[in-house]
Structure 1
Amino acid sequence: MSRIGTTSDRLTCAPSRAARELGLKQGEFDLAVDLGLIRTVPDEGGGGPRVALAEIDHLRSGDGFPDALRGRVATVGTTAGAELMDVVPTRFTSLARYGLLIPVKFYLNRYRTVVWLYLAEELRQFAAERSHARLLAARRTPTEIQEGLKAGMDRRPRNWRGRHVGFLTRQAGDDPWARAGAVACLLDPADVADVVRDPHERTRLARCHPRLPAHGTPGSPTAELAETLMTASEPDEVAWFRADLAHTMEAARRHHPVTATLSPARPVDPLSLMPLPAPPTGQAPLAPPPAPAAERRPEHTDPTPPHGLLSWLRRRPRRPAG
């Protein structure tokens, strides 16, 4: 079916045009979509997402446009972030490695060094919290953080993955196969095969994988390093992603089963892969998947809890549900 003259074409535009209309660079526009600041709609012709002209008009009429919108998607690296928070770069890096500052993007420079980027708006909010004053101004980093860093802790990749899966599941909307694909794309293929045993389902799932950020030529050392960063690796993190995939696959099978011979869907234990009893109607599975980044508050990764960071540091971490 030709897309020329469709209602979608008359009332929407391509992302490239939307970015120009909103005064954003393409990377800024993509981040704004990830953050939910710009809503997209499916293309009736089967192409990529589009932006309604009414959405553009709404954003252009907002207070402080375009500077306010640009400010919400502004990102900074370690040096600029440290200046923004009035700390030395080493303190900034310590807070980020410990998981208190969550990166929103990353890239690999010419030396294949990972450069993490953070939302400037979030860093300002972090620095403005009175409960963070000691972290930022004290001469010595808190003991808990020092011990973690000495042990080699670096939660930046894990925090990026947790945030990015939230972006992907939000964009997947109500399509359960797309939501399952969003989770699967951040797992090692071997883990996906363990959880999704049917090869026809895996084929369908692969078609639903969203496109992850590209870094370098496919197959190059840079691309391989980026793929490693974008793949869940810590045991408890992998367990959560597997549980999330098992949960979303149950919904996908109910919505549109790939074959008529599939056995009745039952939750799967992410570690043992043994079927678990189905939960009562209306209750969550025994190992609920992590919520999208906007809603998730894991003990290991998110920054400030409602009662302040220092009390959070003193609280003993709970072991994730198996």
Structure 2
Amino acid sequence: MSGRTVTTPDGRTYAPGRAARELGLKRREFDLAVDLGRIRTVPDEGGGGRRVAHTEIERLRSQDGFPDALRARARSVSTGEAAGIMGVTGARFTRLARLGLLVPVAFYLNRYRTLVWLYLADEVAQFAADEQNAALVHGRSLPKELRARLASGLDLRARNWRGRHLGFLLRRAEDPWERAGALAALLDPVQIADVVKDPYERAHVHRFRPGPPTPGSPGSPAAQLVEELVTADDPDEIGWLRADLAQALDEARAHRPAPRPAPRAERRDDAGHTQHARRPDHTRHARHRPAARTLPAPAQLRPAASPAGGPGEHPGPPREPEHPRGLLGRLRRRSR
């Protein structure tokens, strides 16, 4: 999908909430139908997200069985409802889902912070109707090798959901940078930094990195659980995500380099004109500076006066020693 805004003959588009009402869908059904590609959206000219063109609303309304048929194709069910569609117990359905035979399409946390996986009702019905799955659905027990995998702790529900969720994110991406952001959404920051080493490119990737599908209060147990579900933890999964991110990054660089700050010596003003940074003028205001005091050379410095001479007093030139007075002085002068 290109980044150009798709126009309609009459120019009318609807925000997601309004479009859901026009189609007779609940908001969750509408969002899922968009993710599955069953409702086409167009970019918002004002940059406010995706919208639905009036012509798309009319196209969907003209289909046979509207709106029940559209709603059925976007219907998601919990484990208990899915087990009812298949005619098996909830435990049997959970084992099949853990083995990766049925892929979750969404999840939510209930009021007890319990993870509830959701599945497409259409896919559950198709799996049950397939004769090749008859032994898995109606057999007394699962094959021995499958039971051994379950006993080892295998649970592919989160990984399979991440793969499906990534497909939804890539469907929305309109250029290589958005595709790189979609891939980065499933990696932790350490893995991203190891692949995207340039800090400006990394910041640009994070700009297009979608948030979790069901965000909670930052730091809350619910938010931490969602973050764990969204972040890849299997070595094989991390490996192919890193490889795909590196390839998407190469394509993004060729498409449009990541923005960087202009060099300090050359910046652009608001009108787009180049401004060269001025070098500091050391002669500026020199006339207004006070004259610097000239200190005497080291050879001209005099030793400080002795404590007896008082503070700051320097001795003068050497004087002739005074002769002692009195009789002793006269005797000394005669003896010379």
Task: Please give the range of the TM-score, normalised by the shorter of the 2 chains.
Answer: 0.7 to 0.9
CA distance in structure 2 between the partners assigned to 1:214 and 1:225 by the alignment: 10
CA distance in 1, matches of 2:133, 2:214: 35
For 1:64-108, what per-residue CA distance to the aligned partner results, in whole angstroms no more than 9, with x for missing partners? 000000000111111111110011111100000011000000011
Aligned residues with identical type, % of pairs: 61
Q: What secondary structure, in the 3-state scheme, does the structure 2 residue paired with 1:51 have?
A: strand
Alignment correspondent of 1:283: none
The structure 1 segments of at least 4 consecutive aligned residues displaced by more than 3 Å after TM superposition are 6-10
5+ long unaligned stretches in structure 1: 1-5, 261-322
CA pair 135-7 structure 1, distance change in 2 beyond 3 A: closer
The answer as to whether partners of 1:8 and 1:44 remain within 8 angstroms in 2 is: no
For the aligned residue pairs, the C-alpha RMSD in angstroms reads 1.8
In structure 2, distance between residues paired with 1:153 and 1:137: 22
Q: In the alignment, does 2:116 pair up with 1:115?
A: yes
Given that residues 77 and 116 in structure 1 are in contact (C-alpha distance below 8 angstroms), is that contact kept between their aligned partners in structure 2? yes
Name the counterpart of 1:216: 216
1:170 CA drift (Å) = 0.7
Counterpart mapping for 1:1-322 below 5 A: 10-173=11-174, 175-258=175-258
The alignment's TM-score, normalised by the length of structure 2, stands at 0.73
For 1:252, what is the secondary structure of its paired residue? Answer: helix
Q: Give deviations 1:177-199, integer Å, cap 9, x for gaps.
A: 00110010111110000000001
Q: 1:57 to 1:86 in 2, by over 3 A?
A: same
Q: Which amino acid aligns with 1:225?
A: L
Shift of 1:60: 0.6
Q: The residue matched to 2:133 in structure 1 has which SS?
A: helix
What amino acid maps onto 2:221 in structure 1?
P
Secondary structure at the aligned position of 1:50 is classed as strand
| CA distance 1:235–1:8, shift in 2 (3 Å) | farther
Whole-Å Cα distance in 2 between the matches of residues 209 and 122 of structure 1?
Answer: 29
Cα deviations by residue, 1:18-40 (Å, 9 ceiling, x for unpaired): 00000011111110100000011
What residue identity is the alignment partner of 1:22?
L
Deviation at 1:120, TM superposition (A): 0.2
Partner of 1:268: none
The alpha carbon displacement at 1:12 in A equals 1.0
Quickly say closer, same or farther: Cα 1:242–1:61, change in 2 above 3 A.
same
The AA in structure 2 aligned to 1:209 is R
Gaps of 5+ in 2: 1-6, 261-336
Instruction: Report the Cα distance in structure 2 between the residues aligned to 1:109 and 1:45, rounded to whole angstroms.
Output: 35
Residue deviations 1:280-319 (CA, integer Å, cap 9, x gap)? xxxxxxxxxxxxxxxxxxxxxxxxxxxxxxxxxxxxxxxx
Distance of 1:91 and 1:214 partners within structure 2: 28
1:215-267 C-alpha deviation (Å, 9 max, x unpaired): 4322101110111001011000000111111111110000001268xxxxxxx
Task: Using the TM superposition, give the Cα deviation of residue 111 of structure 1 relative to its aligned residue in structure 2, in angstroms.
Answer: 2.4
Q: TM-score, normalised to structure 1's length?
A: 0.76
